[in-house]
Amino acid sequence: MHLRRRILVTGGAGFVGAHLCRRLLADGHDVLCADNFFTGTKDAIAHLLPDPHFELIRHDVTFPLYVEVDEIYNLACPASPIHYQHDPVQTTKTAVHGAINMLGLAKRIRARILQASTSEVYGDPEVHPQPESYRGNVNPIGPRACYDEGKRCAETLFFDYHRQYAVDIRVARIFNTYGPGMHPNDGRVVSNFIMQALRGDPITLYGDGSQTRSFCFVDDLVEALVRFMAADGATGPMNLGNPTEFTIRELAELVIEMTGSRSELVTRPLPADDPTQRQPDISLARDTLGWQPTVALRDGLARTIPYFQDMAQDAAAQGLAK
């Protein structure tokens, strides 16, 4: 028998959050989306508003929230370096106070709670690929620290609420995720490269482009998050991502090929503390959830590029109408 659950998604108007809200509604649940619209937009979830099982509240997770739900996905936090470095103090507050408030809520109402943690807890890793047992190499005082250390402290809080108050936790360490719905100007590499290629602008390689990332299509990630939430007794931390690794230069070349763009590659200075390599060891997720990504980068880009093409066309049409 299907049980309709009441599920809170913080950061539900963001890139991953909007996909997750859609999935949970499709699975027959009641979804409460809480977002302060710092990087998320009402447009991302506007199509869900007519659904009587969807509810939206403007709320900042650095303040307490009093609602009654069965499960909480805590996604609220800017994820792109330009966004999280825009107001670093607020980023740390969102990660840490947000975790305290949502854990307090979970404790009071006995809800299961999943934290969207990140591969950034590994910093610039000296172990490759990264298993969950690796403790990381994070600069605690650099420009990325507000996010990396904020997320590390949130993990600490999750495990302390679990040990001290028996809160039922799930800590997911999410690796680079992309797909339709990304913000075109959020500065992340996939959105930057596709937008630059579509406009015929130079593709900006930071450094020499030899640094690596492993890109997961958003549908694969959402499937893993839902399975992880449902897995009894699995606290994590658990790496969730696609283990196929690419250099940033390879990504740029693939985007140019797939968009048929004439854009050239240009180099720009490498941002401080930019990790040189990143690849998840997903053995734990494979064994515990029976999950592994199904969408290769080329296929995921083929499903992402049209979204950005539509967006570029809309922007051009609005420019003409002015």
* Interface residue list for ligand NAD (CB under 6 A): 10-11, 13-17, 35-40, 60-62, 75-79, 83, 94, 98, 116, 118, 174, 176-177
The count of residues interacting with ligand UDP (CB under 6 A) is 13
In angstroms, what is the minimal distance from the CB of 221 to ligand NAD?
A: 8
Q: What span, in angstroms and rounded, lies between the C-alpha atoms of 165 and 104? A: 10
Distances in Å between the alpha carbon of 227 and those of 109, 224, 305? Answer: 22, 5, 28
Q: Rounded to the nearest 10 degrees, how much is the dihedral formed by the CA atoms of 191, 192, 194, 199?
A: 130
Binding mask 80-99 for ligand UDP (x = CB under 6 A): -x------------------
Among 194, 248, 284, 305, binds ligand UDP (CB under 6 A): 248
Give helix 189-199 / helix 248-259 axis angle, nearest 10°: 40
The tokens for 47 are 């199509």
- Measured CA to CA, the distance from residue 267 to residue 289 in angstroms comes to 40
CB of 83 to ligand NAD, least distance (A): 6
Q: Please say whether the beta carbons of 170 and 112 come within 8 A.
A: yes
Q: Work out which of 192, 239, 263, 277 binds ligand UDP, going by CB under 6 A.
A: 192
8/111 with CB nearer ligand NAD: 8
**Residue with structure tokens 């969730």?**
240
The one of ligand UDP, ligand NAD, none whose footprint includes residue 174, by CB under 5 to 8 A per kind, is ligand NAD
**Least CB distance from residue 126 to ligand UDP, whole Å?**
17
Partner interacting with residue 248 (select from ligand UDP, ligand NAD, none; CB below 5-8 Å by kind): ligand UDP
Catalytic residue among 73, 84, 122, 147: 147
Task: Find tokens 């330009």 and name the residue.
Answer: 82
d(C-alpha 303, C-alpha 47), whole Å:
20
Determine if 253 is a binding residue for ligand UDP (CB under 6 A).
no
Instruction: Work out what residue 73 binds among ligand UDP, ligand NAD, none; the CB cut-off runs from 5 to 8 Å by kind.
Output: none
Closest to ligand UDP by CB, 189 or 229: 189
Q: Which is nearer to ligand UDP, 134 or 206 (CB)?
A: 206
Alpha helices per DSSP H over the chain: 15-26, 42-45, 81-84, 88-109, 145-165, 189-199, 218-230, 248-259, 283-289, 297-321
Q: Is 178 a catalytic residue?
A: no
By annotation, the residues acting in catalysis are 147
